[in-house]
Structure 1
């Protein structure tokens, strides 16, 4: 055989490796309704543009915090490294589809003793290149494993996107909490100042014989209660700051946390579209589908294990008994061509068990895929179902706060006229504080609801 025939044989082997035993993939039907409850079934639903975090969170201060988190957060860095790991695994598996060409340099020395007690010694130098135990993928086993590794890599890539969306949501949520606590602190500090003024006034009235000692004690109690509440908000502020800085992931807490009224934090208003859009928008759903495709490819590899495996080993080079003459004109050429057919005969049911295992894992991934879709649908519904109620409650809380403030002003004027008791003033003050605090809370919940919609709809 001439050297020129060996590449032809290798090319023929590649041509044979075109069979695939991977079952045809069909995307499972989404186990959710076609529309969200309350949406028209027969009318066209306007689709919102892709949810990028820059457009969904237009506030400049919040965008700066998100950018810092995307740069330094350790969970996101781990997700990126996991993606690099999966990419390298895919590269290793992909390389198995191509023959590995290796160079070799051998030295053999042998001694043979004949029956006449004569001995013969020989040495041989050999240099060449060749392919060692390359599997010709006739039934697509290696191709199926490569396809599975690719789908695993794509799944990890989508998981990185899901981690990023979760990180952005958590940063935005904690920033909303941070601003809400500052709003509560402002309300509480103003209430404390009012209570202290009332205590001083009550003390003066007591000294003048106009109020009783019980009124002074009641005023002192009110001051202490507000001071305790102020200390609680300050403790919560520190905890929220620490949580936010952990999300940002900076080595040192250098990034300032801007303070502004909650009403100044604007978020985009988007439409939910149809549940079917979640299949392409949500990174976790896309990742689950890639996992399903990987399991599907593993079935093809398990099926191929029932069939013979064809391995090829080749080598070409030079040989000579003198190393100095190995690369000269007197050197001798050599070649070797060693195909090997490995046929499974009896392995105690290992191949059958491997196929059943691959099929079981594929069924598991189908269920996981469906469960991921249902979870996404639930998250969107949780946001949508509470959005209207939160808006109605927010409007009611705002009106209640205004009414309680007006009532307090009237009671204070009547107190100056001696028409009401001090206890009625304290009751009005408590009502105002509660109304202001609840108004801040419902405003906080409304913003958190909007932030949650970003993640539920598959923000990127």
Structure 2
């Protein structure tokens, strides 16, 4: 019974780990931005249905009833009039035969727009994952910063207590104790700031994932994150959803230009109708034929639309080229930063090891009266700087890798 109780307590006290992938998946399921892009895909799909409707027959029914109407009838070289009621009912069918690929081009343009919407969704997911990664990493770093600040505060409190004892023994002056007390107050303030920053990071992360983050939850360490997803510039450009979207936009502008140009030639339609009429006489009529519709003059509208389509096509090409240059610039800059952060991490790690050894030596010398409180505080500050600097360097490194992931459309 005691063993079972101990196991239960141990399981309760074991902290829950909130993984990075859990946060990403929760954000992708609940974030309004993702829902907005999903709706855009549905909207684009319906636009395709609308464009394809021009290929299908259009049938309309019409009916008319006149309680009174004046009818004019010729009789003996004269016109006689008569008032009577009347009604008629009919149906009309119109089927497009050929419009010089205008409808075909519009359908292709709408299908391309749907592909653009899907790529935009992919880019939005990658961007959201990037933001979640940054916030998760920030929360982890701030949590570790709190632990560092707590140890720093504990060390300075111990130094203050030691100084008080040495002052009572006449081995140190009151200035030593006062200085350590002051450094303890500063350490408490820094700890409070770190705790506030951690709370902010958790709050923002909880907004991304759509649920509160419980107290005591642990964050996984990604400081040794491998660079396996890093690739060359060409592959990055091929995998970029933002660039793929612009490529599709160029295709769409070409289809729209073809559709606008085809508008000059009109269309050939098949027409059929049936009408039943009951007025002074009762009769029905049918019509089956082919109609040619060629726009001769539209006030310059078609010409202006064609020129507008040409401008749009060139504009999308220019936008694509600008994006390529921007991606190349950012990619190369990130690789340079990543290499620099690797060197910084090595330097900070070496600095931390040296600072630990220095702090131990200086503390021992201080107790023996061979070092001043200034040397002790300097050694403590050096170790604190190395610890926080190493955390910051790892954060910068991971942030750079996350940005490279985003450029390639990765949500992992």
2:379 maps to which of 412, 428, 449: 428
Corresponding position of 1:291 = 249
Corresponding position of 1:243 = 204
Task: Sort the Cα spacing of 1:268 and 1:405 in 2 relative to 1 into closer, same or farther, 3 A.
Answer: closer
Corresponding position of 1:408 = 359
Is 1:370 the counterpart of 2:321? The answer is yes
Corresponding position of 2:4 = none
Is 1:112 the counterpart of 2:71? The answer is yes
Corresponding position of 1:388 = 339
1:111 shift after superposition:
4.2
Gaps (5+ residues) in structure 2?
A: 1-16
8 Å Cα contact 2:115/2:248 also seen in 1: yes
Corresponding position of 1:303 = 261
Structure 2 distance, partners of 1:447, 1:208, is 51
8 Å Cα contact 1:86/1:153 also seen in 2: yes
1:430 shift after superposition:
0.8
User: 1:31-68, CA deviations, whole angstroms, 9 ceiling, x for partnerless residues?
Assistant: xxxxxxxxxxxxxxxxxxxxxxxxxxxx9811111111
1:253 maps to which of 212, 224, 227: 212
Structure 2 distance, partners of 1:104, 1:255, is 66
Is 1:281 the counterpart of 2:239? The answer is yes
2:84 maps to which of 112, 121, 124: 121
Task: Sort the Cα spacing of 1:420 and 1:122 in 2 relative to 1 into closer, same or farther, 3 A.
Answer: closer
Secondary structure of 2:265's match? coil
8 Å Cα contact 1:315/1:335 also seen in 2: yes
Structure 2 distance, partners of 1:191, 1:176, is 22
For these two proteins, the number of residue pairs brought into alignment is: 388
Give TM-score, length-normalised by structure 2: 0.85
Deviates more, 1:232-241 or 1:289-298: 232-241
RMSD: 2.7
Gaps (5+ residues) in structure 1?
A: 1-58, 323-330
1:241 shift after superposition:
1.4
2:309 maps to which of 355, 358, 371: 358
Secondary structure of 2:93's match? strand
Give TM-score, length-normalised by structure 1: 0.77
Which structure carries more strand by proportion?
2
Structure 2 distance, partners of 1:312, 1:164, is 47
Corresponding position of 2:296 = 345
Secondary structure of 1:96's match? helix
Is 1:262 the counterpart of 2:224? The answer is no
Task: Sort the Cα spacing of 1:355 and 1:116 in 2 relative to 1 into closer, same or farther, 3 A.
Answer: closer
Structure 1 distance, partners of 2:71, 2:219, is 94
1:341 shift after superposition:
3.3
Secondary structure of 1:344's match? coil
1:361 shift after superposition:
0.8
Secondary structure of 1:71's match? helix
Task: Sort the Cα spacing of 1:167 and 1:100 in 2 relative to 1 into closer, same or farther, 3 A.
Answer: same
Structure 2 distance, partners of 1:113, 1:384, is 89
Structure 2 distance, partners of 1:273, 1:342, is 56
1:336 maps to which of 278, 283, 287: 287
Corresponding position of 1:327 = none
Task: Sort the Cα spacing of 1:100 and 1:276 in 2 relative to 1 into closer, same or farther, 3 A.
Answer: farther
8 Å Cα contact 1:106/1:127 also seen in 2: no
2:149 maps to which of 188, 195, 202: 188
1:240 shift after superposition:
1.1
